[in-house]
């Protein structure tokens, strides 16, 4: 690509994407932001949400859900270090709804505030994923 951006998406298990792209929309903690070729350097934490990857200029994109993580834009491109990434098209909405219900019950039954906070964080990303799956 003549005017492209190098993009890498890395999870704790493996390198998920390593490609040239025209644009990436990233779910930053303070809001979504787009990264184009020659973007100014920056770092941002990520909230649970969709990373939208445009590999061609025809407007088609690939969407991957990330639980959270870190994005770094440098002169070399964009690297996203994701806690976990998955294709929302592969998510079973009924199973996710059941897991969310179980997590809500676990929050009510949690023995201490630390456990409640951990479970609440899990519920946040599951809720975000359920909204994506429902859309």
Task: Tell me the per-residue pLDDT of 61-93, one tens digit each, with 9 for 90 and over.
Answer: 999 999 999 999 999 899 999 999 999 999 999
- Assess whether 33 and 97 both reside in one domain: no
Domain of residue 58 covers 5-86
- Cα–Cα distance for residue pair 90/88, rounded to 1 Å: 5
- Assess whether 80 and 96 both reside in one domain: no
| Number of structural domains in the chain | 2
Residue 105 C-alpha from the chain's centroid:
26
Tally: H helices and E strands in the chain: 2, 10
Tell me the residue length of the chain.
135
Reply yes or no on whether the pLDDT at 1 is more than 50. Answer: no
Local structure of 118: helix, strand or coil: helix
- Assess whether 53 and 11 both reside in one domain: yes
- Assess whether 82 and 118 both reside in one domain: no
- Assess whether 112 and 128 both reside in one domain: yes
- Assess whether 19 and 79 both reside in one domain: yes
Reply yes or no on whether the pLDDT at 97 is more than 80. Answer: yes
Task: Quote the pLDDT of residue 2.
Answer: 55
């Amino acid at each position: 690509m003549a005017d492209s951006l190098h993009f890498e998406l890395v999870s704790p298990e493996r390198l998920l994407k390593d490609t040239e792209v025209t644009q990436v929309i990233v779910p930053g903690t303070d809001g979504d932001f787009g990264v184009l070729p020659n973007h100014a350097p920056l770092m941002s934490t990520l909230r649970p949400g969709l990373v939208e990857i445009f590999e061609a200029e025809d407007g088609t994109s690939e969407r991957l859900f990330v639980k959270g993580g870190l994005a770094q834009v440098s002169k070399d491109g964009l690297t996203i270090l994701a806690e976990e990434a998955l294709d929302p098209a592969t998510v079973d909405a009924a199973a996710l709804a059941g897991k969310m219900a179980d997590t809500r019950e676990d929050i009510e039954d949690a023995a201490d505030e630390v456990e409640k906070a951990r479970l609440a964080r899990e519920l946040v990303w599951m809720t975000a994923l359920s909204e994506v799956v429902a859309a």
